[in-house]
Amino acid sequence: MARPLSEEKRDALLKAASDLVARLGTGASTAKIAKAAGVSEGTLFTYFPTKDDLLNQLFIEIEARFALTMLAPYPLDASAKDRLFIVWSRLIEWGLDRSTSRKALRQLKVSDRVTLESRQRCHALFREARLMVEQCLAEHSAPERVAFYIDTILFDLADITINAIAAKPKERDAIRQAGFDLFWKGTAA
Amino acid sequence: MARPLSEEKRDALLKAASDLVARLGTGASTAKIAKAAGVSEGTLFTYFPTKDDLLNQLFIEIEARFALTMLAPYPLDASAKDRLFIVWSRLIEWGLDRSTSRKALRQLKVSDRVTLESRQRCHALFREARLMVEQCLAEHSAPERVAFYIDTILFDLADITINAIAAKPKERDAIRQAGFDLFWKGTAA
Amino acid sequence: MARPLSEEKRDALLKAASDLVARLGTGASTAKIAKAAGVSEGTLFTYFPTKDDLLNQLFIEIEARFALTMLAPYPLDASAKDRLFIVWSRLIEWGLDRSTSRKALRQLKVSDRVTLESRQRCHALFREARLMVEQCLAEHSAPERVAFYIDTILFDLADITINAIAAKPKERDAIRQAGFDLFWKGTAA
Amino acid sequence: MARPLSEEKRDALLKAASDLVARLGTGASTAKIAKAAGVSEGTLFTYFPTKDDLLNQLFIEIEARFALTMLAPYPLDASAKDRLFIVWSRLIEWGLDRSTSRKALRQLKVSDRVTLESRQRCHALFREARLMVEQCLAEHSAPERVAFYIDTILFDLADITINAIAAKPKERDAIRQAGFDLFWKGTAA
DNA sequence: AATGAATGAGCGTTCATTCAT
DNA sequence: GATGAATGAACGCTCATTCAT
């Protein structure tokens, strides 16, 4: 191995892919992505053997960063509701701060180029966050519905809420609160 | 005179487009769509001047059929909650019955090839359904949040619920109920 | 034969073809030509079996009208030079009056879709005009060069002159005269 | 680094384009041109971003080579007429030697795909030749007509003459002389 | 005769990927 | 490892022509 793969270039490629997939969908061409990353068309393929691979890596990378955000320590002494509100707020903030990532993710989620395996791997990344939420809901919700609330509702409801905020940025805090209230009340036993 | 445009072919094209867009995304090629519809590649373009046009018509067509489903008469003497449950059930049933349409819609919604105008036109189609829901929530929810519940939450929450059912078809009724309960409780004042 | 072919439609098609070929070259589509003529795409083919046929008829038609213009009677008592100047002026005037026809002709002349046979047929149409010019040059030019002057030079030099006038319409008369002088002096023995 | 653009391939593409445009007009397909050049269809577009670009480059290239031919040194001590005859002969010889280029040029000149800018750029290439001719005509022609003779007549008259020779190759020298005589006598004051 | 929908080959161009440099 | 020229299949779309109406 003459030269090691450059982490810098890999990141630039993923960043460029994120931007372009967000804007153009998964049809964004590898040539454009390479150009936006400041590397040559061929180089893209030394970092990612195929475009599908790039897309899957991108998906995983974004989800991983997202999961990391959710992992920051939580005040253990706060009430379940307060702790859940912190989770909720982090979900919302991440989506608003990383709007490009979120848009890219939205495209990737509906694409059949992102494999089931990638999706499952990412699911696992949120285990800790999920456990946290589980604790919050333990005394609040009907036990048989907790899984549904967490796996199905929580993230997507946050997504919907982010969309609503994106449409009316001035009402940011009100919408965030309205979304949370809906979830909290809706999940009560 | 001449041969009239065939409603049948137009429908076949939209049906084929729906299938392929659901499976492959908006990148599905016009050639494949034409072939699946049993017409020649050129014929597609006598029915839809451009691919974008086809995609937009498809979007509108699906939404229109969906809106029609929602328009069926409601038992006016039932309670607000019961009537809302009927709305909710129709949303869910439609999504489950028309899973291809729903998947196509999901692709179309994230594509920038579907114009704002098309989206707005479709939004209008649901006015009646929205009014119906508004009445149901009138005495149940905080007035300032009703718009948020209807425009932002309701349809997307139904979508999430459908996804959940699609993943676990055996729990169909339980999940449908769980989704509704979440919405109803969540929207209480 | 249920209905006779309509002269009117044939003319409208040729007129439309002339316009469009002048503007777009022989690549102008039959659909556009039919539309511009106010008839349907199919009708074009009942008047002209193929596009090549239409193009050849158009070529012949324009040349024929042109030849007709040249056939108007000449004052037989005028001098050779004066009579030739009349010929020359008619060439120039025709080109300026019928600039669309001339542009179409220019495209047709360089196209291999206009057959040798069409070209030869048109050549024959100008026999009379050519004879006229021959008489004018009889005592003015070297006999062995007269054919060259008429068949090769005269029409093309007129064409060049028309181009020059088209570029500077204000100098119309001066350029017309300059072109004629060049021909007259140039063809002197 | 990478593989450098090959001058050879570019030339082969222009050569192939020249051949096919000469034969089929500007409608000659890029696929045929690429095949004739011995490269793949895609390769054409790494050398010329669009077909229009190829056509314009071809136009400029042919004109440039032509201009170069005209630039060869002239015997300054020869008479004006003799020097002009050299110019004339070079025009004729070029056209006869490069009959494919000439035919391609003829197609390109009537095509609206060759831009005004390309035409103007090429016009400039002949400045030197034009100056040369200007000197030859200085004491021979009416000053106010010199521009007309050079810009409008000379090249096109040569073109006509070449056509005549192409039709009767055996009379090559006689026709060349006849054309020159016409020009020389015709441009006398 | 007139219409225009139907056809499929062909168009100019883009694409993911390979490989000579 | 990095580059970008090379590739040919595929793309969205147009075309001359045919033929059901």
pLDDT of A133-184, one tens digit each?
999 999 999 999 999 999 999 999 999 999 999 999 999 999 999 999 999 9
The CATH number of whichever domain residue B130 belongs to comes to: 1.10.357.10
- The verdict on residue B34 lying in a domain is no
- The residue type found at C137 is L
- The verdict on residue B125 lying in a domain is yes
How far is it, in rounded angstroms, from Cα B102 to Cα D110?
Answer: 54
Give the model's confidence band at A2: pLDDT under 50 very low, under 70 low, under 90 confident, else very high.
Answer: low
Cβ neighbours of residue C156 under 8 Å, at least 6 residues apart? D156, D160
Q: Classify residue C6 by its DSSP letter.
A: P
Output the average pLDDT for chain B.
95
- The verdict on residue B30 lying in a domain is no
CA distances C75 to C83, C86, C94, C137, C140, Å, are 7, 9, 19, 16, 19
The domain tally of chain B equals 1
Q: Which residue is nearest to nucleotide E15 (CA to C1')?
A: A29
Output the average pLDDT for chain A.
94
Indicate which of A153, A154, A163, A184 best probes the interface with B, i.e. most B CBs within 10 Å of its own CB. A153
Q: Which of C111, C145, C185 sits opposite D25 (nearest CB)?
A: C111
Q: Which residues of chain D have pLDDT under 50?
A: none
Least confident of A70-79, B29-38, D110-119: A70-79
Q: Which residues of chain C have pLDDT under 50?
A: 1
- In which domain, by residue range, is D150 found? 51-186
Tokens of D177: 């002389």
Q: Which residue has the higher pLDDT, A6 or A158?
A: A158
Question: What confidence score (pLDDT) does residue B1 get?
Answer: 63
Q: Is the CB of D48 under 7 A from strand F?
A: no
Which residues in chain C, range 42-101, keep a C-beta under 7 Å from any nucleic strand E atom?
42-43, 45-47
How far is it, in rounded angstroms, from Cα C116 to Cα C122?
Answer: 10
Give the tens place of pLDDT for each residue, B77-110.
899 999 999 999 999 999 999 999 999 999 999 9
Question: What confidence score (pLDDT) does residue C2 get?
Answer: 56
Question: What confidence score (pLDDT) does residue B182 get?
Answer: 97
Show which residues on chain A lie within 8 Å of chain B, measured between beta carbons: 23-27, 106-107, 110-112, 145, 148-149, 152-153, 156-157, 160-161, 163-164, 175, 178, 181-188
- The verdict on residue B71 lying in a domain is yes
- The verdict on residue B108 lying in a domain is yes
How far is it, in rounded angstroms, from Cα A20 to Cα C175?
Answer: 59
Question: What confidence score (pLDDT) does residue D1 get?
Answer: 63
Q: Which nucleotide is nearest, taking the CA of residue A44 and each C1'?
A: F2
- The verdict on residue C1 lying in a domain is no
In chain A, pLDDT over 70 holds for what percent of residues? Answer: 98
- The verdict on residue C109 lying in a domain is yes
Question: What confidence score (pLDDT) does residue A1 get?
Answer: 45
Taking residues B182-187, report their average pLDDT.
97
Give the model's confidence band at A189: pLDDT under 50 very low, under 70 low, under 90 confident, else very high.
Answer: confident
- The verdict on residue C2 lying in a domain is no
CB contact under 8 A, C175 and D24: no
Cβ neighbours of residue C128 under 8 Å, at least 6 residues apart? C67, C70, C71
